[in-house]
Structure 1
Amino acid sequence: MGDLRDRIASLEGVVAKQGECLPFGVSAIDAVLPGGGLARGDLHEFAGGGAGTVDGAAAALFVAGVAARTNGKIVWCLTRPDLFFPALAQAGLNANRVIFVESDREEDVLASMEEALSFGGLGAVVGEVVRLPMLASRRLQLAAEKKGSLALVVCSWRRQTEANDFGQPTASTTRWGVSVLPSEELPVPDVGRARCLLELMRSRAEVIVGACDDKGRIDLPTESIYGSHSSRRSRHSG
């Protein structure tokens, strides 16, 4: 049966991605991800946990940290040149590694992503959009599969109505919500590592992590794992 599955996958042009994952090095996250990390050759979708720009910026920086831990150039496609280079560096991503592709329309952002993914040989391809349509997500997924590229989409919103679109079906392998939390307290007054809440939508898990350091790595603070969405709701209502 295993040989038959391999033959079918070969006929369909599907490349086995076993072992081709980018782990976070945090067991609470890697344990719930297929393959133990973010699969290369797949599309992964990120968004701020709320409609505000602060959470949106946190999602972009989290993606920058992911990209920082890859090898090779990063193509970052967007409509607004509003990325703050020192913040990227703080998340571990050197701006010299990034090729920025600016477009007037989101349709062109998605098209640029697809072309970059089809080129191959890149550390990651990132795109910032307000909404990721199902058809576009399928095209990105197929392009990522073809070359084994890592595709990362950041959904950034300006209005609450746009935020409501997140959660609609897409072809993304994983979907993440990133929300800013108060910094972890340290013995030094007014100093603390930034923290965020990661919501792994498909796995229905939530984890509090320390924001990316200058190597793109995250860690688990003392207060870390909530578990499921329902457990978080009960905790906050108590």
Structure 2
Amino acid sequence: MSALSNLLSPDRARVLAELRAQVAGVEGEGRPPNVLPFGIEALDGRLAGGGLDRPAMHEVAAASPTLGDDAAATLFIAGLGARFAGRPGASAVWILTQFDLYAPGLEQSGLGPDRLLYVQARDDVMALALAEDALRDGSFAAVITEVKVADQTATRRLQLAAADRSTPLLLLRRWRRAARDPLDMPSLAATRWRIGCAPSVPLSHPGVGRACWSVDLVRQRGGKPFSLLLEACDDQGRLALPPPARLRAAAAGGAAARAA
């Protein structure tokens, strides 16, 4: 294999992308302590504060009411929770009305059982009340709540509680009706995200590639919306940029040639 083809191999590109993420993470240490960077310049550079504010509420919804997009949004929010609760001894609480989470999937996104407490509420009203209590308690590194309905008054209370205790609230808005986007409802969230499934990057060898997501920042306080294609969370909750298009084409061509 020539030096040029070795340089452009998908595996090498992945290693370089991970190194860039690590360097971006180190550079992110200069950011304010209440900001959590993603470690991806293409993402952090578009966020108003260079990352996610800790003392704030962030909303996430699936791009569509399909099971695939719902799983992508759930794992995206699990990865955020894992990174907010990344320090030793830290834990997150996940408040929900229907216990349908798949624990091994959450662990693959970095949020293992040793760092997570589940709380099941009777309905959305109770879930929102429990979320506010958990925020004001101040013991958790992150509070995750999933509901179908949260009006503007509820989001205002949660945003104030998150700011008062410097604890992030990650609100997963579930689809209530197929015809109505959950993010159409007004909210005081600092950021609002829409997550959907995207095709995986082809590998240079037989196997299944790392899952990819379409990540849309629908609204952010002090910044503009944007869209990115990102690889799904790893076991530390970290996202990644896919290899450049020319490397994806080379990998797909190599796999096709071997199959023939």
Fold match, TM over 0.5? yes
Q: State the TM-score, normalizing by the size of structure 2.
A: 0.76
Q: 1:83 aligns with which of 101, 111, 122?
A: 101
Q: Compare CA radii of gyration and give the structure with the larger one.
A: 2
Is the 8 Å Cα contact of residues 52 and 158 (structure 1) preserved in structure 2?
no
Q: 2:235 aligns with which of 205, 211, 214?
A: 214
Is the 8 Å Cα contact of residues 58 and 189 (structure 2) preserved in structure 1?
yes
d(CA) in 2 for partners of 1:50 and 1:39? Answer: 26
Offset at 1:98?
0.9
Which digits, 9 at most, give the CA deviation of each residue in 1:24-43, with x for residues without a partner?
Answer: 00111111212211101100
* Aligned position for 1:131: 149
Offset at 1:187?
1.0
The list of structure 1 runs, each at least 4 consecutive aligned residues, that deviate by more than 6 angstroms after superposition, is none
d(CA) in 1 for partners of 2:110 and 2:158? Answer: 25
1:17-96 correspondence to structure 2 within 5 Å: 18-71=32-85, 72-96=90-114
Does residue 115 in structure 1 map to residue 133 in structure 2?
A: yes
Secondary structure of 2:95 counterpart: strand
Stretches of structure 2 that go unaligned for 5 or more consecutive residues are 1-30, 246-260
Instruction: Return the structure number with greater helix share.
Output: 2
d(CA) in 1 for partners of 2:195 and 2:150? Answer: 17
Stretches of structure 1 that go unaligned for 5 or more consecutive residues are 1-16, 225-238
Is the 8 Å Cα contact of residues 183 and 192 (structure 2) preserved in structure 1?
no
* Aligned position for 2:122: 104
Give the letter aligned to residue 127 of structure 1. Answer: T
Is the 8 Å Cα contact of residues 124 and 152 (structure 1) preserved in structure 2?
yes
Instruction: Evaluate the alpha carbon distance shift between residue 116 and residue 140 of structure 1 in structure 2; reply closer, same or farther with a 3 A threshold.
Output: same
d(CA) in 1 for partners of 2:201 and 2:58? Answer: 28
Is the 8 Å Cα contact of residues 131 and 166 (structure 1) preserved in structure 2?
no
Tell me the percent identity. Answer: 40
* Aligned position for 2:203: 186
- Count of residue correspondences: 207
Give the letter aligned to residue 143 of structure 2. Answer: V
Offset at 1:73?
1.2
d(CA) in 2 for partners of 1:27 and 1:121? Answer: 31
d(CA) in 1 for partners of 2:154 and 2:244? Answer: 38
- The alignment yields a C-alpha RMSD, in angstroms, of 1.6
d(CA) in 2 for partners of 1:47 and 1:165? Answer: 7
Q: State the TM-score, normalizing by the size of structure 1.
A: 0.83
Which digits, 9 at most, give the CA deviation of each residue in 1:1-55, with x for residues without a partner?
Answer: xxxxxxxxxxxxxxxx943111100111111212211101100000001121221
Give the letter aligned to residue 140 of structure 2. Answer: L
